[in-house]
Structure 1
Amino acid sequence: MLSPLASFFVTSVTAALSGLAFGLSLIVAIGAQNAFVLRQGVRREHVGTVVVICAASDVVLIAAGTAGLGAVVARSGAVLEVVRWVGAAALVGYGVRSALRALPRRDPGALHPTSERPPSALGATALTTLALTWLNPHVYLDTVLLLGSVAAGHGTLRWAFAVGACVASWVWFTGLGYGARALAPVFAKPTAWRVLDGVIAVVMVLVAVSLVAR
């Protein structure tokens, strides 16, 4: 027979593990944000900044949803509509940029392997990460509304569930950003970069289409 304290600990850990599993189920799917994190990880460029922005943003959204903001967002149809169209436009813009990078270049030096390519500015990378995170309506629907609702189902243990979901975000984005370095040998050739940028362009455009076609 467990003591009340031990019982509370066990149920809290169980709720946290449920949050961990549920959080991973929401963010592991390939999307605009994950594609961008993967690209930055392969380039080994501002990875820490990208990871922190993505994971910290998730923590804020998860906390908001757990605190009950989901119900408020659900009633703000006009706000979600604006974010939907602005987010779709931003995704298309980034998709076009990726598509242009994927095109063959006449100048062999125009597309360098990962170690020689000119790095993008930290500010520009941070702004792109913020845009892909906060201008995506799916973030609010999944993280604030859906995850917030599931957390509410855990009653007094909802914050333990939220902690598990937050851990999932940090584990995933850290693993994706820094684990992508293992692919560096594959991207030693410009052709591999063109393929990656082509895939990213398709992902970005498909996500944008899914936003405006709903």
Structure 2
Amino acid sequence: MTSVLPAALAGFGTGLSLIVAIGAQNAFVLRQGIRRQSVFAVVGICALSDAVLIALGVAGLGAVVTAWPGALTVVALAGGAFLLGYGALAARRALRPAADAAAGLAVRGDTAGSVRTAVLTCLALTWLNPHVYLDTVLLLGSVAADRGPLRWVFGLGAMAASVVWFVGLGYGARLLSGPLARPAAWRLLDGLVAATMLTLGVLLVARAV
């Protein structure tokens, strides 16, 4: 019993260290949280996807990922293309803001279209990112394997870290809605999102070819 808690805490710390780094997924969750649009759906998808990937890693799927490096190349190309497209849209918003942005970040209800778009975008940003397979499945799965019979406890700790992070990021981001109420601040945020997405997209495509 005494060894269960250290294993869970180790999983929590390892998982958090892999998730916190700025990336396309976190930038998207932050943007949705500030806009207060589809936050529950986006946070749920990110946390559930991480839980599935962590479980696959603990179960030993990392060996399959290592054996088929070509699969990661395909994912990298598809993910890179998606990030370039999303980054271009964010850059367009920063350079030519929509008319409704002139009024600042008014809180609006989610429509069916906006929820569907957010869900599909979040799924693409999560599952078309080859780093998620390398970090979550391969790396975290390898570390969990060293825990022997406690590897699933380690995995549960990592899953808990994912839930805590995405809930905190998605719902905590609304605290920034005040400072970002001005259109100029929102354009700056879109510019940072565009830079993040375009940079990651270029790097993914460059490493894949």
TM-score range, shorter chain: over 0.9
1:191 pairs with 2:184: yes
1:113 pairs with 2:88: no
Distance 2:71 2:102 in 1: 40
Secondary structure of residue in 2 paired with 1:213? helix
Alpha carbons of 1:116 and 1:164: their partners in 2 closer, same or farther (altered >3 Å)? closer
Q: How does 1:1-214 map to 2 (within 5 A)?
A: 9-105=1-97, 109=100, 111-115=102-106, 121-214=114-207
Secondary structure of residue in 1 paired with 2:2? helix
Give the Å deviation of 1:88: 0.1
The amino acid that maps onto 2:125 is L
Give the Å deviation of 1:116: 5.7
User: 1:170-203, CA deviations, whole angstroms, 9 ceiling, x for partnerless residues?
Assistant: 0000000000011010111111110000000000
Secondary structure of residue in 2 paired with 1:93? helix
Give the Å deviation of 1:111: 4.0
Give the Å deviation of 1:73: 1.3
Give the Å deviation of 1:74: 1.2
Question: Does structure 2 conserve the Cα–Cα contact (< 8 Å) formed by 1:43 and 1:114?
Answer: yes
Question: Does structure 2 conserve the Cα–Cα contact (< 8 Å) formed by 1:111 and 1:117?
Answer: no
When the two chains are superposed, the root-mean-square deviation of aligned CA atoms in Å is 1.5
Alpha carbons of 1:135 and 1:108: their partners in 2 closer, same or farther (altered >3 Å)? closer
Highest CA radius of gyration, 1 or 2? 1
Distance 1:46 1:196 in 2: 18
Distance 1:109 1:129 in 2: 23
Percent sequence identity is: 59
The amino acid that maps onto 1:210 is L
Tell me the TM-score normalised to structure 2 length.
0.94
Distance 2:169 2:203 in 1: 24
- Which moves more between the two structures, 118-127 or 158-167? 118-127
- Which moves more between the two structures, 36-45 or 200-209? 200-209
Unaligned runs of 5+ in 2: none
Distance 1:110 1:159 in 2: 46
Question: Does structure 1 conserve the Cα–Cα contact (< 8 Å) formed by 2:104 and 2:183?
Answer: yes
Distance 1:43 1:149 in 2: 37
The amino acid that maps onto 2:191 is G
**Matched residue pairs, number?**
205
Unaligned runs of 5+ in 1: 1-8
Residue matched to 1:3: none
Tell me the TM-score normalised to structure 1 length.
0.91
